[in-house]
Amino acid sequence: MVSPSPIARYRLQGQTKGIVASVAVDTAGTSYETAPTVSFTGGGGTGATATAALSGDGVGTITVTDGGSGYTSAPTVVFSDETGSGAAATATVTAPAAIASGLLDRYGDGTWRMTTANGVNIIYDGNDVNANAILENLLTGVSGLSSGTNLFGNTGVA
Protein backbone atom coordinates (compact mmCIF):
# COMPACT_ATOMS: atom_id res chain seq x y z
CA MET A 1 0.00 0.00 0.00
CA VAL A 2 1.33 3.44 -0.92
CA SER A 3 1.80 5.70 2.09
CA PRO A 4 0.08 9.11 2.02
CA SER A 5 3.11 11.41 1.59
CA PRO A 6 6.12 10.91 -0.68
CA ILE A 7 9.60 11.29 0.77
CA ALA A 8 11.03 12.37 -2.60
CA ARG A 9 9.53 13.66 -5.84
CA TYR A 10 11.00 13.76 -9.35
CA ARG A 11 9.50 15.56 -12.35
CA LEU A 12 9.88 13.69 -15.64
CA GLN A 13 9.64 15.66 -18.86
CA GLY A 14 9.62 14.40 -22.40
CA GLN A 15 11.39 11.10 -21.94
CA THR A 16 10.85 9.25 -25.21
CA LYS A 17 13.54 6.61 -25.02
CA GLY A 18 12.35 3.11 -25.66
CA ILE A 19 13.23 -0.55 -26.03
CA VAL A 20 13.48 -2.90 -28.99
CA ALA A 21 10.10 -4.59 -28.78
CA SER A 22 10.17 -6.83 -31.83
CA VAL A 23 12.06 -7.70 -35.00
CA ALA A 24 10.28 -8.63 -38.24
CA VAL A 25 12.00 -10.70 -40.92
CA ASP A 26 11.83 -8.80 -44.22
CA THR A 27 13.92 -11.22 -46.29
CA ALA A 28 14.80 -14.75 -45.16
CA GLY A 29 18.04 -14.99 -47.10
CA THR A 30 19.44 -18.33 -48.18
CA SER A 31 22.13 -20.97 -47.58
CA TYR A 32 22.24 -20.62 -43.78
CA GLU A 33 23.54 -23.81 -42.17
CA THR A 34 23.02 -22.47 -38.64
CA ALA A 35 20.99 -19.57 -37.32
CA PRO A 36 22.96 -16.35 -37.71
CA THR A 37 23.91 -14.19 -34.75
CA VAL A 38 21.69 -11.12 -34.43
CA SER A 39 23.00 -7.76 -33.22
CA PHE A 40 21.86 -4.14 -33.34
CA THR A 41 23.64 -0.94 -34.30
CA GLY A 42 22.50 2.66 -34.02
CA GLY A 43 19.18 3.86 -32.69
CA GLY A 44 20.72 5.69 -29.74
CA GLY A 45 20.29 2.85 -27.26
CA THR A 46 22.24 -0.09 -25.92
CA GLY A 47 21.81 -3.62 -24.69
CA ALA A 48 19.24 -5.09 -27.06
CA THR A 49 19.75 -8.75 -27.90
CA ALA A 50 17.86 -11.21 -30.07
CA THR A 51 18.13 -14.73 -31.47
CA ALA A 52 17.25 -15.99 -34.93
CA ALA A 53 15.67 -19.32 -35.85
CA LEU A 54 15.90 -20.89 -39.27
CA SER A 55 13.08 -22.00 -41.51
CA GLY A 56 14.68 -24.23 -44.08
CA ASP A 57 17.94 -22.50 -45.01
CA GLY A 58 16.63 -18.98 -44.38
CA VAL A 59 15.87 -16.88 -41.30
CA GLY A 60 12.31 -17.65 -40.21
CA THR A 61 11.83 -15.80 -36.95
CA ILE A 62 13.69 -13.46 -34.62
CA THR A 63 12.98 -13.37 -30.90
CA VAL A 64 13.99 -10.36 -28.81
CA THR A 65 15.64 -11.69 -25.64
CA ASP A 66 16.43 -8.26 -24.12
CA GLY A 67 14.90 -5.00 -25.35
CA GLY A 68 17.83 -2.94 -24.12
CA SER A 69 17.18 0.70 -23.22
CA GLY A 70 17.54 4.26 -24.38
CA TYR A 71 16.47 3.80 -28.02
CA THR A 72 15.27 6.97 -29.73
CA SER A 73 14.84 5.29 -33.12
CA ALA A 74 14.86 1.77 -34.53
CA PRO A 75 18.36 0.30 -34.67
CA THR A 76 19.70 -1.52 -37.72
CA VAL A 77 19.46 -5.31 -37.45
CA VAL A 78 22.77 -7.01 -38.30
CA PHE A 79 23.17 -10.72 -39.11
CA SER A 80 26.55 -12.40 -38.67
CA ASP A 81 27.11 -15.76 -40.31
CA GLU A 82 29.80 -17.24 -42.53
CA THR A 83 27.54 -19.58 -44.49
CA GLY A 84 24.35 -17.79 -45.50
CA SER A 85 23.52 -14.39 -46.88
CA GLY A 86 20.74 -12.04 -47.81
CA ALA A 87 18.69 -11.98 -44.61
CA ALA A 88 17.19 -8.62 -43.68
CA ALA A 89 14.97 -7.56 -40.80
CA THR A 90 13.41 -4.46 -39.27
CA ALA A 91 13.41 -3.66 -35.55
CA THR A 92 10.47 -1.92 -33.89
CA VAL A 93 11.12 0.34 -30.92
CA THR A 94 8.41 1.14 -28.43
CA ALA A 95 8.69 4.10 -26.12
CA PRO A 96 6.46 4.64 -23.14
CA ALA A 97 5.00 7.71 -24.87
CA ALA A 98 1.77 7.65 -22.86
CA ILE A 99 3.80 7.94 -19.69
CA ALA A 100 6.64 10.06 -20.99
CA SER A 101 6.14 12.92 -18.56
CA GLY A 102 4.71 13.36 -15.10
CA LEU A 103 5.68 13.03 -11.45
CA LEU A 104 7.52 10.17 -9.82
CA ASP A 105 7.18 9.87 -6.05
CA ARG A 106 9.16 7.66 -3.67
CA TYR A 107 7.41 6.58 -0.50
CA GLY A 108 8.86 5.52 2.85
CA ASP A 109 7.63 1.94 2.43
CA GLY A 110 9.85 1.47 -0.64
CA THR A 111 7.17 1.88 -3.28
CA TRP A 112 7.32 4.29 -6.21
CA ARG A 113 4.32 5.86 -7.89
CA MET A 114 4.35 7.63 -11.22
CA THR A 115 1.44 9.86 -12.15
CA THR A 116 1.64 10.92 -15.77
CA ALA A 117 0.50 14.10 -17.44
CA ASN A 118 -2.51 12.24 -18.85
CA GLY A 119 -3.47 10.63 -15.53
CA VAL A 120 -1.98 7.14 -15.98
CA ASN A 121 -0.63 5.68 -12.75
CA ILE A 122 2.13 3.11 -12.39
CA ILE A 123 2.96 1.76 -8.96
CA TYR A 124 6.16 -0.19 -8.38
CA ASP A 125 6.34 -2.24 -5.21
CA GLY A 126 9.19 -4.59 -6.06
CA ASN A 127 6.98 -7.29 -7.57
CA ASP A 128 6.32 -6.02 -11.09
CA VAL A 129 9.31 -6.34 -13.43
CA ASN A 130 7.49 -4.47 -16.22
CA ALA A 131 6.91 -1.43 -14.00
CA ASN A 132 10.54 -1.65 -12.93
CA ALA A 133 11.75 -1.60 -16.57
CA ILE A 134 9.43 1.26 -17.53
CA LEU A 135 10.46 3.44 -14.61
CA GLU A 136 14.18 2.73 -15.01
CA ASN A 137 13.92 3.57 -18.72
CA LEU A 138 12.12 6.83 -17.97
CA LEU A 139 14.70 7.83 -15.39
CA THR A 140 17.69 7.41 -17.71
CA GLY A 141 19.34 10.80 -17.73
CA VAL A 142 17.00 12.47 -15.22
CA SER A 143 18.82 15.30 -13.46
CA GLY A 144 20.02 14.35 -10.00
CA LEU A 145 20.02 10.60 -10.59
CA SER A 146 23.32 9.04 -11.56
CA SER A 147 23.76 6.04 -13.80
CA GLY A 148 23.61 2.88 -11.73
CA THR A 149 21.49 4.40 -8.97
CA ASN A 150 19.55 1.61 -7.29
CA LEU A 151 16.07 3.08 -7.60
CA PHE A 152 14.13 0.08 -6.42
CA GLY A 153 16.32 -1.46 -3.76
CA ASN A 154 16.16 -0.85 -0.04
CA THR A 155 18.37 2.25 -0.20
CA GLY A 156 16.78 3.93 -3.21
CA VAL A 157 17.06 7.67 -3.72
CA ALA A 158 15.79 10.10 -1.14
According to the model, what pLDDT value does residue 109 have? 76
Tell me which DSSP letter residue 146 carries: -
Select from 18, 19, 28, 96 the least CA-distant residue to 62. Answer: 28
Q: What is the pLDDT of residues 105-156, one digit of tens each?
A: 777 777 777 776 666 566 666 555 555 565 655 555 444 443 344 444 333 3
Q: How many CB atoms lie within 10 A of CB 115?
A: 15
- CA distances (Å), origin 20, targets 5, 63, 81, 121: 35, 11, 22, 23
Predicted pLDDT of residue 128: 54
Query: 114: buried, middle or exposed (CB in 10 Å: 19+, 13-18, 0-12)?
Result: buried
> What's the confidence (pLDDT) of residue 142?
46
The predicted pLDDT at position 97 comes to 44
Gap between the Cα atoms of 147 and 99, Å rounded: 21
Residues 67 and 48 sit within 8 Å (Cβ to Cβ): yes
Average pLDDT, the chain: 74
User: What is the mean pLDDT of the segment spanning 10-25?
Assistant: 75
What is the reported pTM?
A: 0.56
Nearest to 81 by CA among 47, 65, 58, 60: 58
Query: Are residues 113 and 93 in contact, defined by beta-carbon separation less than 8 angstroms?
Result: no
